[in-house]
Amino acid sequence: MKPLIQRQPANYQPVTGMLPPQTIREFKGVNTFDPFSITDNFFTDMSNFVTDDYPAMTVRPGYTVLGNAIGSKVLGLGVWKDQEIHAVFNDGTWRKWTGSAWSSPLASGLDTSAAWSFANFQGNQPDVRLFGANGVNGLRMYNGTSVTTFGDAPANINFISTYANRLWGASGKELRACALDQPDKWNVFNGNDEDSYGKDIESTRGENINSLSSGMSKLIVGMPNSLHELYGSNPSDFQTRLVTEETGVANNQSLFVQDSVLNFIHTNGIYRFISGGVGPDRSFSDIVKKYFLNVNNSTAGTDGKKFYFQTEPGKILVYDPRMTTWVVWTGINPTCFSIFQHQLYIGDSHGRVLRLGGLDDAGSPITWFATTKPFTSGSVAQKTRWIKLWTFWELAAGSFLNVYLSTSSEGNDWELVQTVTGTGNKIERIIIPVQKYVLANYVRIKFEGTEWARLHEHTRQVRQLPLY
């Protein structure tokens, strides 16, 4: 019998620095602050996502085109009684959508570059009329059948709005209003409260009025670098108040009122103004300030749920006030926005009117991407061994997802490491190879694809190595 050999039990030591998987299942949109300082659930750049399915992130809706493009730019969108949508195109025509095609011109020979503003108003008319102006072609009125030149407003009247039972407009730096309930009479001055109204709005820069907006129980008068309020109900008690001479409005297409708050674009950012003695505030938009590059032709609008701000051609910043998140859309170049029968319509720089909704852009697949922050250990200087990376997506059948990695904090030095074709049947776990990046101090991920998709999770597991 052989003697029993005693063996020492194995003394396995735990691997030091191994961290549990770090999972992200809540996505807060885009953030342009320092990428090393923002939280992990922000992206540093993205295109064509929404946070409607928060905490997941989904590809934005597509659009359909109303009829054919006319000219090469839409100069304005107007809605009559929420029954008809009208558009002015840069071929000099005003048309309405019949439900299947754009009508023959209701007006022609109009200026081919000036932007239009519209307002519904009845006053002494038999029914509600749609009034429009562009600062060149005088006041125009649609009566349900035809468009005509109307009343005795100044020939260069612009920025049509309504307040206190009057039509309002601007002529240079002069603020003008029609007589009480008389949209055809702009020059009645009999010394009573039914008179027309006119007043020069002064500013230290001597600027002209470039926007008017009602909807806040007062009239907001915008200039390129100042903001003014008009209160009162009659000429005898109309009063104007200077709000600020530090912040103004980019143009009449770059502001809107939602829930009694004025939202507008200025060269310094996107602002909100509530009044009550407090000036405009831009703190809610500082998180996306990197995108403020060119606001000369900016446009803003709302669908009643989200806010849309184009601050550079072909790029729309979308704010969701419910979730306080920002995302970025591309592939649409708006010139104006309008709500018609509870849907958002967009006039664009290609002479098209777009109706938001659907899974593609007028038959073309939606392309998208999202770039994460550089993921690090507790310190950027911490050496890290990357063990695993994976992500969970829903992908439409026939769509594709490319996954790229980078070891730089910014730039485009991406390397494709994984490609997946969508099946449309389930949430898919996608393993991301990390062999080439196993000892990187930090790693960025870029997700890129086409067609509908929804991101549910991405997870990383790393081992922390010595700090030096």
CATH classification of the domain holding 400: 2.60.120.260
pLDDT of residue 137: 98
The verdict on residue 325 lying in a domain is yes
pLDDT of residue 30: 98
> What does the alpha-carbon distance between residue 168 and residue 158 come to, in Å, rounded to a whole number?
9
pLDDT of residue 297: 82
User: Do 102 and 51 belong to one domain?
Assistant: no
CB proximity list for 135: less than 8 A, separation 6 or greater: 114, 156, 157, 158, 159
Per-residue model confidence as pLDDT tens digits over 220-232: 999 999 999 999 9
The verdict on residue 6 lying in a domain is no
pLDDT of residue 13: 66
Structure tokens at 99: 């439900």
* Torsion sign over Cα 340, 343, 344, 345: negative
pLDDT of residue 189: 96
The verdict on residue 112 lying in a domain is yes
The verdict on residue 9 lying in a domain is no
User: Do 204 and 81 belong to one domain?
Assistant: yes
CATH number, domain of 304, equals 2.130.10.10
User: Do 273 and 259 belong to one domain?
Assistant: yes
Using 50 as the pLDDT threshold, list the residues of the chain that sit under it: none
pLDDT of residue 273: 96
Q: Which of 315, 335, 357 is the last residue of a domain?
A: 357
User: Do 325 and 390 belong to one domain?
Assistant: no
User: Do 306 and 443 belong to one domain?
Assistant: no
User: Do 70 and 55 belong to one domain?
Assistant: no
The verdict on residue 394 lying in a domain is yes
For residue 163, how far is the Cα from the chain centroid? 27
CB hemisphere CA count around 255 (13 angstroms):
31
User: Do 142 and 107 belong to one domain?
Assistant: yes
Structure tokens at 154: 């100044």
pLDDT of residue 203: 93
> What does the alpha-carbon distance between residue 101 and residue 194 come to, in Å, rounded to a whole number?
42
Per-residue model confidence as pLDDT tens digits over 126-174: 999 999 999 999 999 999 999 999 999 999 999 999 999 999 999 999 9
Question: What is the number of structural domains in the chain?
Answer: 2
> What does the alpha-carbon distance between residue 225 and residue 216 come to, in Å, rounded to a whole number?
20
CB hemisphere CA count around 406 (13 angstroms):
15
Q: Which of 287, 322, 357 is the last residue of a domain?
A: 357
User: Which domain does 401 fall in, by range?
Assistant: 22-60+369-464
pLDDT of residue 381: 82
The verdict on residue 118 lying in a domain is yes
Q: Which of 357, 386, 419 is the last residue of a domain?
A: 357
pLDDT of residue 468: 62
pLDDT of residue 4: 67
